């Protein structure tokens, strides 16, 4: 869709042309937003809270002429996941896309066992990628994303060099933020 090329990444259009329906976005995430908007506005679907999707039963779908272009008023639309509640997180990520949010700030604060084993990261990153969401984190969560038990032996260079020594202990060290491989490993 040519009208989207110069727009922000979350702009989208919903149009009909004859018997054809066009849902297009300036990015894959925006195309997803177009689809959710169409489902809401034209078919009566709704998602008031995470995990509570309302999808009406319909035998036939009829829509009239559509010609809508939408662009969000704010570039960043973030949901802060604090406190982190493991059982709710995947439903919240799914709901975020339906609400046209584009970033999540995930604060690790309790139940670090699943973080340190990589379980949360391994389940979370694919769901974030699937929806094109951005992941933002806080500095005190570094070891949740690169747990020393998993990474230090194979990649000691991922950890800060302090006083000529690298330490896997979060109380004594941090990540080596000047190492580009660290950023690549953390990125979704």
Residues 45-87 pLDDT 10s: 999 999 999 999 999 999 999 999 999 999 999 988 777 677 7
pLDDT higher than 60, residue 183: yes
- For the entire predicted model, the pTM comes to 0.74
As a whole number of Å, the end-to-end CA separation of the chain is 28
Question: What pLDDT score was predicted for residue 138?
Answer: 61
Distance CA 87, CA 65 (A): 42
pLDDT at 103: 92
Q: How many C-beta atoms lie closer than 10 Å to residue 188's C-beta? A: 14
- pLDDT of 3 over the 70 cut: no
Q: What pLDDT is recorded for position 158?
A: 93
Which residues, listed in sequence order, are joined to residue 12 by a DSSP beta bridge?
25, 70
Average pLDDT over residues 114-122: 63
């Amino acid at each position: 869709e040519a009208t989207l090329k110069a727009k922000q990444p979350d702009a989208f259009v919903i149009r009909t042309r004859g018997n054809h329906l066009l849902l297009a976005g300036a990015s894959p995430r925006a195309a997803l937003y177009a689809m959710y908007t169409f489902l809401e506005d034209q078919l009566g679907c709704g998602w008031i809270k995470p995990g509570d999707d309302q999808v009406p039963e319909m035998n036939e779908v009829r829509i009239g002429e559509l010609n809508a272009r939408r662009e969000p008023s704010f570039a960043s639309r973030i949901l802060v996941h604090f406190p982190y509640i493991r059982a709710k997180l995947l439903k919240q990520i799914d709901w975020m896309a339906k609400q046209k949010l584009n970033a999540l700030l995930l604060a690790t604060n309790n139940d670090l066992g699943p973080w340190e084993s990589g379980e949360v990261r391994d389940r979370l990153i694919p769901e974030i990628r699937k929806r094109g969401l951005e992941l933002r984190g806080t500095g005190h969560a570094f070891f949740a994303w690169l747990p020393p038990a998993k990474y230090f032996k194979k990649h000691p260079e991922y950890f800060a060099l302090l006083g000529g020594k690298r330490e896997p202990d979060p109380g004594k060290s941090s990540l080596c933020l000047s190492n580009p491989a660290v950023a690549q490993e953390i990125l979704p």
